[in-house]
Chains A and B, each alone.
Chain A
Amino acid sequence: MTTPEPLLDVAIRKTLRSGPRVFELDVRIRSDHERLVVLGPSGAGKTLLLQAIAGLLPPDAGHIRLRGRTLFDRRLGVCLPARARRIGYVFQDYALFPHLDVRQNVAFGLNRRALNPRRHARFPEVEDWLARFGLAAMAHQRPAELSGGQRQRVALARALVTEPQALLLDEPFAALDPALRQDLRDELDQLQRRLGIPMLLITHDPEDAARFGETILQLEGGRAVESTR
């Protein structure tokens, strides 16, 4: 009996203690859709789930498989470090490197050496993403000088330039004003369709879920309460 491997197969448990407070994350996801949305209020454990998939937070038990590749399996003793998972992560407030300009930020993941890319270095794939996102004119600016929408594009370009196998987005539109939010939803929508890259987006905004959720998982208090297709 062989069942085909789902695109994303997650079954993890993680207990976090902070003083007397205990938080338990217990999530199961099996999805074949390229667009997965995890919806839930803040404090539901959404970011913890993303961190676990990205390799930034080791779960206590369970497994994480992406396209049949095991990223984590407690029983097999497998836990790939974040650097080896090839998963793009767009952080909620983008986590752009403040000491590097836009071009250096985008080029950051292209080498794993001791030094950051130089200001004057040019890489075709970086220039390509800068042009695609309309960032070429501000390539020499620092992240602090950019608008919210531009920052998000830099964060996306920085993740995508390394050709990740999946893209994780933590509340990608929360930091933006409502008018811009709609534009950037359209942009991300088109981008995902063009690249065909599996995408997991976490949000508290039902509008994001309606737009991107082929699979929608409701998360509350660390538990998946409902899954809709």
Chain B
Amino acid sequence: MPSIAAVDALWPALALSLQVALWSCAITLLLGGGLGLLIARTRFPGRELLDTLLTLPMVLPPTVIGYYLLVVIGRRGWLGSWLDETFGIQLVFTWQGAVIAAALVTFPLVFKPARAAFESVDTQLEQAARTLGLPEWAVFLRVTLPLAWRGIFAGLLLSFARAMGEFGATLMVAGSLPGKTQTLSVAVYTAVQAGDDAGAATLALVTASVCVAVLLAANRLNPSRPSAP
């Protein structure tokens, strides 16, 4: 039987993980989608360098990302101290801090497929829409986005699954305050540290199940997979 402590931690941790992952997805959708569109559709010097920098979170260890985040948004960080002094906002050891950590780590998972998806849209289709009288924003909503959304959405689901499992950067930025910043993956670590093997097993099983469900959904939406009739 899992310990009482682990079971008590399960629901708040699952709820918090979902909350963090959903907010992180919203951020990566906007930023990753927007920057993917920018890189796919514009030509400017340093474009490929920017692409490389934006992909960096995929290969950096999450602890390194967590460290840099502390440097920036930590209480003495250059952005963190300004936020604290001006608005009284503190991000470290809050669930919002966990969202920022998860969004940064998972950003490339949306940005990369979004760039590829926007690049794969035939520009001639957009030109056809223009000759048919559509303003630019309508061309985007009615041609570009419907043709690119599958790729973006598959990336978004991956980023959701990854955000659910985010550990390193989250622990460094948000810590492990039960009910406040302790996500599922952090709770697993805490349970193992406390010698609560059964509790860790339960928490791990729940985490894995959620991630499997999301990956199955992502596979169904994979653009390279022939679509169902």
Which residues of A does B touch, CB under 8 Å? 51, 54-56, 81-89, 91, 93, 95, 97-99, 108-109, 112-116, 158-159, 162
Residue of B nearest to A51 (CB): B127
Contacts of B128 in A (CB 8 A): 89, 91, 95, 97
Q: Say what secondary structure dominates the interface of chain A.
A: loop
User: Taking the complex as formed, is B71 at the interface, i.e. its CB lies under 8 A from any CB of chain A?
Assistant: no
Interface size on B, residues (CB 8 A): 19
Which residues of B does A touch, CB under 8 Å? 122, 124-125, 127-135, 137-138, 141-143, 146-147
* Also in contact, A56 and B147, with CB within 8 A (given A95-B122, A109-B132, A113-B138): no
Instruction: Give 5 A-B contacts (CB < 8 Å), ordered by A residue.
Output: A55-B131, A83-B133, A83-B135, A91-B124, A97-B143
Q: Say what secondary structure dominates the interface of chain B.
A: helix
Contact check: which of A85, A97, A112, A115 meets B125 at CB < 8 Å?
Answer: A97
* Also in contact, A81 and B132, with CB within 8 A (given A95-B124, A95-B125, A99-B146): no
Contacts of A162 in B (CB 8 A): 132-133
Which of A85, A88, A97, A114 has the most chain B CB atoms closer than 10 A to its own CB? A97
Contact check: which of A82, A115, A116 meets B131 at CB < 8 Å?
Answer: A82
Contacts of B124 in A (CB 8 A): 91, 93, 95
> CA separation between A41 and B223, bound complex, in Å?
37
Residue of A nearest to B125 (CB): A95
Contacts of B137 in A (CB 8 A): 114
Give 14 A-B pairs besides A95-B122, A108-B129 with Cβ atoms closer than 8 angstroms. Answer: A54-B131, A83-B135, A91-B127, A91-B128, A97-B125, A97-B129, A97-B143, A108-B142, A112-B133, A112-B134, A113-B138, A114-B137, A114-B142, A162-B133
For the complex formed, measure the closest distance between the CB of A107 and the CB atoms of chain B, giving whole angstroms.
Answer: 10
Quick check: B135 and A116 within 8 Å, CB to CB? no
> CA separation between A40 and B146, bound complex, in Å?
36
For the complex formed, measure the closest distance between the CB of A153 and the CB atoms of chain B, giving whole angstroms.
Answer: 15
Quick check: A115 and B142 within 8 Å, CB to CB? yes
Contacts of B135 in A (CB 8 A): 83, 112
> CA separation between A12 and B49, bound complex, in Å?
38
Residue of A nearest to B132 (CB): A109
Quick check: A99 and B147 within 8 Å, CB to CB? yes
Contacts of B131 in A (CB 8 A): 54-56, 82-83, 85, 87-89, 159
